[in-house]
């Protein structure tokens, strides 16, 4: 299946700093990517849809000025957590749509996630 990578895999930062997380589709192109956040013992929550060449679409309740998304190319989307605070500590996961193996149907392929700890 398709491979999606994320960098960094974990990051610790001081409160008030900004953190950038990269999501790359390694062997396919993605005009759309998705960003999720997951708190401990909770499910994945969709934050926003990243669109190559246009603005991201944010889910209700997600601050677009807080979580800046840039879809710079067909294989790269970045999520920047601006002025991070301890409550932003979470597991951030991206996904990109690709063809399910041996079919012509699309499914989502997920990155390994980035664990953010804000002190």
Partner 1 sequence: DAKTTQPPSMDCAEGRAANLPCNHSTISGNEYVYWYRQIHSQGAQYIIHGLKNNETNEMASLIITEDRKSSTLILPHATLRDTAVYYCIVSYGKLTFGQGTILTVHP
Task: Specify whether the CB–CB gap between 24 and 2 falls below 8 A.
Answer: no
| Integer Cα distance of 81 and 40 in angstroms | 19
Number of H helices, E strands in the chain: 0, 11
* Residues from 2 through 61 that contact partner 1 (CB under 8 A): 4, 6, 34, 36, 43-46, 49
Only one of the segments 64-72, 73-81, 82-90, 109-117 lies at the binding site for partner 1 (rule: CB under 8 A); that segment is 109-117
| Integer Cα distance of 43 and 17 in angstroms | 26
Binding mask 78-97 for partner 1 (x = CB under 8 A): -------------x-x-x--
Only one of the segments 14-22, 63-71, 75-83, 107-115 lies at the binding site for partner 1 (rule: CB under 8 A); that segment is 107-115
The structure tokens 């879809």 sit at: 71
Residue 68 engages partner 1 in binding (rule: CB under 8 A):
no
* Furthest-apart CA atoms within the chain: distance in Å: 46
Neighbours of 67 (CB within 10 A): 20
- Distance of closest approach, residue 9 Cβ to partner 1, in angstroms: 10
- The residues that touch partner 1, with contacts defined as CB under 8 A, are 1, 4, 6, 34, 36, 43-46, 49, 91, 93, 95, 100-102, 105, 107-113, 115
């Amino acid at each position: 299946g398709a491979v999606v990578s994320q960098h960094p895999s974990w990051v610790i930062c001081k409160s008030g700093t900004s953190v950038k997380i990269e999501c790359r589709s390694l062997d396919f192109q993605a005009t759309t990517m998705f960003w999720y956040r997951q708190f401990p013992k909770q499910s994945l929550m969709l934050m926003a849809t990243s669109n190559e060449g246009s603005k991201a679409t944010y889910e209700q309740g997600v601050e677009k000025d807080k979580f800046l998304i840039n879809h710079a190319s067909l294989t790269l989307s970045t999520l920047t957590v601006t002025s991070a605070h301890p409550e932003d500590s979470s597991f951030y996961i991206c996904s990109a749509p690709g063809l399910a193996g041996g079919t012509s149907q699309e499914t989502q392929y997920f990155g390994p996630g980035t664990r953010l700890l804000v002190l």
